[in-house]
Amino acid sequence: MMSSSAEKHVARTRVYFDWNATTPMRPQAKAAMIKALEMAGNPSSIHAEGRAARRLVEEARTAVAHAVGATAANVIFSSGGTEANALALTPGLRREGEAVTRLVMSAIEHPSVLSGGRFAVEDIEVAPVTVDGVVDLARLQELLAGKPPALVSVMLANNETGAIQPISEVAGLVHAAHGVLHVDGVQALGKIDINFNELGADLLSLSAHKVGGAKGVGALVLSDRIAGLEPLIEGGGQEKGRRAGTENVVGIASFGAAVSAADDTRAASANRMRKLQEKLERGLLTISPQIRIISSGVRRLPNTTLFSAPGMKAETAVIAFDLEGMAVSSGSACSSGKVRPSHVLEAMGIPPALAQGAVRLSWGWDTAEAEVQYLLEAWKTLAGVLLKGADAVA
């Protein structure tokens, strides 16, 4: 039977367990957007209205820099994480000495990184990951040794499994080989502590809508030692000539407000989300011992659980959850009406029978324990259908 608290909650609204796809907007971000919408000035104009708009942009730049321990002058605003990644993947970047001429990326990167940016196909190599979804440091070192300097791109936390990558160790290998390190920090922002300098990253991509800000705005953060970054969009002097076009003042203002709100409560929020993760995974395994929690053996984001079982079909499971009033996502990507196995799970060596059933649950700062309880109670019924005939996981 459903608990009374869960009944009361779900009677009011649907339950949202797809925060890794996008988050609800924070009240602080909404308020900042409304304030910005009331301004008429172009942030490049020197009159009072322009200066007021510029002030909002620079306040947000400072907030983003503070959240990741970077320098505000080195924050470049973009249209989102995808553009930030594309801007970072630039041949000719240099940290010291010789410029990079090739790209090495982990096999579990976001598609915007896997596309290779402005590197030629023949200049791209892929570093494998372990069965737990963590970059293989020994293989990465082999790909760097005795070769020209490379730009290496490794995400901080995977969007599907939640697995956190050993970025500091990666940075040590990359810099020892005179390379440059780009880190996609989109999924990690607001969920775990990010200190740009301590990570050893040279470039860091971020996105507003993963932390409670507006969609359509992101940032690329640079270290003081990086040179050779060529703009993707030319034709204006905005962002110190690194990204032409009038700044999205409304979106940028929301980004600054959202990241400040997240930073203020991050430790407490992470602790609460971790407790929900423990309750959720314990409950899933109690109800269905045959399921597998992907990447459970390594450090993960506190808000992400990817689970599967042989015999389960992810697309069927997502629809079944949706009909029960819950938004979840699949470990597979749909393209042109065809469901293809997740490249992340494929890179991890997850058997196809297991990969095709992977379901991702992700939550956030105001997810209630009653919502987790409701999902578990619904799973008791759904599991009987979705896991019918499933074999025990070895």
Residues 312 and 220 placed together within one structural domain of the fold: no
Token pair belonging to 209: 């809508």
Tell whether 198 and 270 lie within a shared domain. Answer: no
Query: Based on the domain organization, do 245 and 273 belong to the same domain?
Result: no
Per the domain annotation, does 391 fall within a domain?
no
Residue 1 scores a pLDDT above 60: no
- pLDDT tens by residue, 141-151: 999 999 999 99
Q: Which two tokens stand for residue 313?
A: 């079909």
Q: For residue 394, is it within any domain?
A: no
What CA–CA distance (Å, rounded) separates 194 from 70? 10
Range of the domain at 278: 4-25+266-386
Q: Is the residue at 148 inside a domain?
A: yes
Boundary-marking domain end, from 260, 279, 314? 260
Nearest Cα to 135, choosing from 112, 117, 110, 153?
Answer: 153
Helix segments in the chain, DSSP class H:
4-12, 27-37, 48-68, 81-88, 111-114, 137-144, 167-176, 196-199, 249-287, 314-323, 343-347, 352-355, 369-386
Distances from the Cα of 130 to the Cα of 134, 163, 297, 393, angstroms = 5, 11, 11, 19
At residue 311, the pLDDT reads 85
Polymer length of the chain: 394
Same structural domain, 228 and 314: no
Tell me if 392 is assigned to some domain.
no
Confidence at 96, pLDDT banded by 50, 70, 90? confident
CB-CB contact of 256 with 89 (8 Å): no
- When pLDDT is cut at 50, 70 and 90, the band that residue 360 belongs to is very high
Q: Specify the 3-state DSSP secondary structure of 60.
A: helix
Query: Is residue 376 in some structural domain?
Result: yes
> Does residue 86 surpass a pLDDT of 50?
yes
Active-site residue, from 334, 351, 384, 385:
334
Q: Which residue has the higher pLDDT, 127 or 3?
A: 127
Residue-wise pLDDT for 20-67, tens only, equals: 999 999 999 999 999 999 999 999 999 999 999 999 999 999 999 999
Residue 310 to residue 353: CA distance in whole angstroms: 5
311 is catalytic: no
Q: Do 32 and 21 share a structural domain?
A: no
Whole-prediction pTM value?
0.94
Does residue 198 lie in a domain region? yes
Q: Are residues 31 and 137 in the same domain?
A: yes
For residue 393, being part of any structural domain is answered with: no
Task: Mark which of 204, 236, 260 sits at the end of a domain.
Answer: 260
Same-domain check for residues 161 and 253? yes
- Going from the C-alpha of 41 to that of each of 38, 51, 58, 242, the distances in angstroms are 9, 7, 14, 22
In single-letter form, the type of residue at position 19 comes to W
Q: Using one digit for the tens of pLDDT, what is the confidence trace for 12-31? A: 479 999 999 999 999 999 99
364 and 310: one domain? yes
Q: CATH number for the domain including 315?
A: 3.90.1150.10
pLDDT band (50, 70, 90) for residue 91: very high
Let me know whether 142 and 101 are in one domain. Answer: yes
The verdict on 288 and 231 lying in the same domain is: no
Residue 232 lies in a domain: yes
Domain boundary at 228, 260, 292, which? 260
φ, ψ for residue 335 (rounded to 5)?
-145, 120
pLDDT score recorded for residue 12: 46
Q: How far is the C-alpha of 161 from the C-alpha of 308, rounded, in Å?
A: 12
Query: Mean of the pLDDT values across residues 233-253?
Result: 96
Q: Are residues 116 and 241 in the same domain?
A: yes
CATH (domain of 143): 3.40.640.10
Per the structure, how many domains does the chain have? 2
DSSP track, 249-285: HHHHHHHHHHHHHHHHHHHHHHHHHHHHHHHHHHHHH
Judgement on whether residues 328 and 381 belong to the same structural domain of the protein = yes
